[in-house]
Structure 1
Amino acid sequence: MIWAGLWKLEIKENLKLSYKIWQLYMMCCYAILSIGLSGNVVYVYLRDPARIIEAIGIAMSDYICLLKMLLCALRKTTQLLQTAVQDDEIVSSEDPTLNQLLCRHKKSVNMIGLFIVTYSFAFCVHMSFYGGLVQYRNYQMKFPNATEKPEYILSLWLPFNVQNHFDLALFLQCFLLLQGCAGSFASLGFTNAMISYAVIKLKMLKYYFRNFDKFPQEIHSKDPVHRNRMAIRNLENLIRKHQFIIRFIKDLNESMSIILLIEYSLSSLMLASIISQIMNSGDIAFAIYESDWYNYDSKVGKLIFMIVMRARRELTLNIGPFGPITLEAAKARMQVAYSYLSVISGNNRNN
């Protein structure tokens, strides 16, 4: 999000001015890119109507990216990011088992983040360079004596005569598209980070409940009254953690429902595989049931019962007005996409 110019949290004092300049630069790039793509729609409509669908599709991709960036920069989503960044509990733990869990989770999150950046950057490089430089080179080899430049290669409208300055126009297109892909990095990375944070908090909570006689304070006393008092204190502390996660996911749902609608339309299966781990929060009930709860009196049993009842209610993230994200929903969308491709392929073979 720093690269995209969308970082709203604190940064080092000596970097504030540099970041303000960088932020202004990125905003100018986004504005020029959006104006160029929008102008290209009008230009294509007037000069070459056969390419209007292509021009609208490219412009819509830019608008969707800008919308996701705007949603990521809202105050409420920034507060969620600040909550995750300032949570020291997910950094490390003195408990060896929990520390291993955190290390594995960090590796998986870093791998997913690296994949998102690599894939997005490679896609943008392919679109900008292959769609521009390579095609232009092929055009020159095919038509070495051509006097006109292939304007169909350009996806941007630029306020000068591109026939006279075609190399400059091609360079600006490649440069602005690469800068614009930073917004895609930011929105995808933010979505992945927030969902991954909720997942690791749920995994940690399951471990705490499974060993509630050790967290946050280990129970050593052999006095039944004191043991029960400490058990209740530990359970109350874990209940507060559970309530914090519930509130966080509710706020996340409110802030990201539109983002998730957009992202899910583009990558439903990938998101569903991650979010399904949140929907398995009911495993907390099994975790607490596997603890030594039967060694305590009825007050502890009542708290255990309350925890089990609340944990059995699913935590969900909604796709706008279309209901919760599930693997079944992702599968259905993949089947629809496959059916559509099958019909199109069949029609092409028949033709």
Structure 2
Amino acid sequence: MHDVKDKQLRKILSSTTEPILRAFLIYMFAVIMTNVSFMGLCGYLRYKHTKQTKEAYHPFEMLLPFDRDEHYNLTLLVYMLTESVTAFMAYTMDMALLVFIIFHILRLKFLQHVLRNFKHYTGNADSIHDVDRKITYKETASFWRNCISEHQDIISDVEMLNKQMSKLFFIDFFLRTIQMAGFCLGGIKADQFMNQFFGFGCLMCSSSQLTILYWYGEVLTSESVAISDAIYESEWYDADMETRRTMLMMMRRSQRCLILTVGKFEKVALRTVLRILKSIYSCMSIIVQRQ
């Protein structure tokens, strides 16, 4: 149905996939630079501010084959590599989930483009740019049958995806909430600045990962509804009555938006991330007030 040589479709592909690749590179660069700054600050406080006591700060416990305080520079390097690899693995798992979502977003965007330019895609390839050519009823009917079939396949595939991944989203939602609450609590209750820096830094990284994943879930929902807008923006007024009925049928079907769910109680959308952050903030405020 889609011509891979179509420049417009290739442009849609690039505009959809390039932002997530940039976000991945920016995230990894930020993680590495944060770890380098954090470990450098640890070394600075160790050898400058606490020069007499030689107190060493350790962000977390780790079993090492050497004395951590005696070889503190090497310990900081191991900490930095461990945190960077862990962040990379966590974000890679989110990317694996995003691949399935972005694939269906692309299908919806391709379908929207075809619907907006249905005259361009109707007829033989040799005469596709011949505006004076009269499109036959048979060609129009075949085109709309393909569009309806593609739209129905997308709906079925997204529903199947949601059925298979709803529990996975719930587990990720539950574990990520506990993780962010722990980071926030650790940062609030910390006595030292380094503990606060480490706790809130991990909270920002974890929340950014969750935001990107749930943002694309919301994009999937909005793109599914945009099918009706694409039909309206096409030259529907030049179509015959039978074609207009087919358009209306697709528009009604597209009004039932496609959603991914977290278990059976929440949608994969940005408002879910906001609810998580608000809940964590409320719980942390109560804990701080009771201290």
Q: TM-score range by the shorter chain?
A: 0.5 to 0.7
Q: Does 1:111 align with 2:36?
A: no
Residues 42 and 57 of structure 2 are in contact (CA less than 8 Å); yes or no, is this contact kept in structure 1? no
Change (3 A) 1:299 1:315: same
Question: Which of 273, 279, 288 is the aligned partner of 2:221?
Answer: 279
Deviates more, 1:320-329 or 1:263-272: 263-272
Quote the offset at 1:320 in angstroms: 2.7
Larger relative contact order (CA 8 Å, sep ≥ 6): 2
Q: Does 1:156 align with 2:65?
A: no
Deviations 1:50-76 (A, max 9, x none): xxxxxxxxxxxxxxxxxxxxxxxxxxx
2:173 pairs with 1:231? no
Counterpart CA distance in 1 for 2:260 and 2:115 is 24
Counterpart in 2 of 1:319? 262
CA contact (8 A) 2:166 2:262 kept: yes
Matched position secondary structure for 1:285: helix
Q: Secondary structure at the match of 2:15?
A: helix
SS of aligned partner of 1:212: coil
Instruction: Output aligned runs, 1:255-334, within 5 Å.
Output: 255-258=164-167, 260-261=169-170, 262=172, 265=177, 266-267=206-207, 269-280=211-222, 281-334=224-277
1:180 is aligned, of 74, 78, 86, to 86
Look up the match of 1:240: 149
TM alignment of 1:1-351, pairs within 5 A? 93-96=5-8, 98-123=9-34, 125-126=35-36, 130=38, 132=39, 134-144=41-51, 146=53, 150=56, 152-159=58-65, 161-162=67-68, 167-215=73-121, 217=123, 218=128, 221-222=133-134, 227-258=136-167, 260-261=169-170, 262=172, 265=177, 266-267=206-207, 269-280=211-222, 281-340=224-283, 343=286, 347=289
TM-score (norm 2): 0.66
TM-score by length of 1: 0.57
Find the residue that maps to 1:278 and give its secondary structure: helix
After alignment, is 134-143 or 318-327 more displaced? Answer: 134-143
Aligned AA for 2:120? K
Q: Percent identity?
A: 20
In structure 2, what residue type is equivalent to 1:196?
Answer: I
Q: Distance in 2 between the 1:118 and 1:171 partners?
A: 17
Aligned length, in residue pairs: 251
Partners of 2:169 and 2:262 within 8 A in 1: yes
Deviation at 1:231, TM superposition (A): 0.8
- Does the 8 Å contact 2:46/2:57 carry over to 1? no
Structure 1 residue 104 displacement after superposition = 3.3
Distance 1:142 1:290 in 2: 66
Listed one character per residue, the Cα deviations across residues 282-332 of structure 1 (whole Å, up to 9, x for unaligned) are 221232234344544454344324322321211111113433223443443
Shift of 1:206: 1.3
Task: For 1:206 and 1:114, locate their aligned partners in 2 and report how far apart those are by CA, in whole Å.
Answer: 29
1:42 paired residue number: none
Q: What are the Cα deviations for residues 99-139 of structure 1, in whole angstroms up to 9, with x where unaligned? A: 5444433443333333333334334x25xx62x55324423
